[in-house]
């Protein structure tokens, strides 16, 4: 009779252990399924933001097909024949840039207060126009939606 009492305890302990393992396995399976459903889709790559307006302008030019990645030394521009191709008014607390193009040449990125090879300097960036100053005069270039040559030359020049 003494042997039967420990066997009953052993059966009760094994039963408790079996139920604990079964419940633990079920909880683990349900938790795995929950996290597979609740986890957001994986991101292929995180966006990288360019904080330098000059580099951002050159990246835009490269995306638009400018193979030369126009740098300030690449393009010589004189004060006549400028066209405002695009502009960005700023990046947070950083200044903006303008995409200027001279007849027959590729667009060039010009950051705020940058001096062009001909002595003109980008002095002001507004939502629809930019102002260049230098050599005793000021040029205002307006952003025009039309791509025709006549409309894109809407620039006013004033003497300083």
pLDDT tens, per residue, the chain with 160 residues:
455 567 778 888 899 999 999 999 999 999 999 998 988 877 666 667 777 777 777 777 777 766 554 444 333 334 446 788 888 877 777 777 888 887 777 888 888 888 887 788 888 888 788 888 888 888 888 876 544 444 444 444 455 4
- HSE (CB half, 13 Å, CA atoms) of 113? 2
**Rounded CA separation 38/158 (Å):** 63
SS3 86: strand
SS3 84: strand
Asked if residue 107 lies in contact with residue 99, where contact means CB atoms within 8 angstroms, the answer is yes
What phi, psi does 115 have (nearest 5°)? -95, 130
Sorted by sequence, the CB contacts under 8 Å of residue 150 that are 6+ apart come out as: none
Q: Structure pTM?
A: 0.44
């Amino acid at each position: 009779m003494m042997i039967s009492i420990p066997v009953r305890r052993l059966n009760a302990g094994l039963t408790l252990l079996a139920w604990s393992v079964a419940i633990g396995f079920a909880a683990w399976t349900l938790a795995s399924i929950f996290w597979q459903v609740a986890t957001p889709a994986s991101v292929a790559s995180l966006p990288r933001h360019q904080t330098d307006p000059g580099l951002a302008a050159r990246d835009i030019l490269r995306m638009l097909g400018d193979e030369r990645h126009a740098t300030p030394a690449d393009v010589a521009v004189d004060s006549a024949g400028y066209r405002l191709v695009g502009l960005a008014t700023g990046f947070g607390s950083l200044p903006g840039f303008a995409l200027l193009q001279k007849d027959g040449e590729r667009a060039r990125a010009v950051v705020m207060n940058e001096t062009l090879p001909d002595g003109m300097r980008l002095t002001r960036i507004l939502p629809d126009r930019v102002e260049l100053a230098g050599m005793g005069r000021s040029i205002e270039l307006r952003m025009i939606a039309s791509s025709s040559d006549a409309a894109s030359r809407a620039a006013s020049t004033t003497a300083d």
